[in-house]
Amino acid sequence: MRNKWRRGTFTPKNQDKFIGSRAIYRSGLELKFFRFCDDNPNVIKWGSENIIVPYISPLDNRVHKYYVDNYIAIREGNEVNKYLVEIKPSKQTKPPTVKYRKKRHLLYEQKAYIINQAKWNAAQQYSHKKGYTFIILTEKELNFNK
């Protein structure tokens, strides 16, 4: 599909909090989240695509690698909580609808949705085993659209 998203490399101001060699953002939503992680004093550690979760694709029944968008360890009150964070536009978190779609585009969206569900289920299981919480953030949580 056509790429209309913001892309680039983010350079953290607080290098001691960042895990990894570089932070590549593929959307304005990811860039906003990177800035939040870098600037928030409660964020202890964060990383971009540094956690790899194996998952089985329902399309080919083969094992693939899911690079979760972000890992974050954040101080919340007296606790430090660890999250695996996927960042997606809210539209991509819901099943695609037939309304006003070309067949080819609808098929692409259906495949992407099915694969995302498999990835997210695997990330939920991985998170549970590690004591993390898996969350999906959209523009609604990031207050991106005003």
**pLDDT tens string 45-99:** 999 999 999 999 999 999 999 999 999 999 999 999 999 999 998 888 888 877 6
pLDDT of residue 100: 60
**For residues 36 and 122, what is the distance between their CA atoms, to the nearest angstrom?**
26
- From the candidates 45, 49, 82, 88, give the one annotated as an active-site residue: 88
pLDDT of residue 143: 77
- From the candidates 17, 30, 86, 119, give the one annotated as an active-site residue: 30
| pTM, to two decimals | 0.86
- From the candidates 32, 38, 69, 86, give the one annotated as an active-site residue: 69
Residue keyed to tokens 């995302």? 116
Percent of the chain exceeding pLDDT 70 equals 91
Question: Going from the N-terminus, what domains does the chain have, and what CATH number goes with each?
Answer: 8-137 (3.40.1350)
Longest dimension (CA), the chain: 51
Q: CB–CB of 37/46 below 8 Å?
A: yes
Told to judge if 99 belongs to the known catalytic residues of this protein, a careful annotator would answer no
Told to judge if 69 belongs to the known catalytic residues of this protein, a careful annotator would answer yes
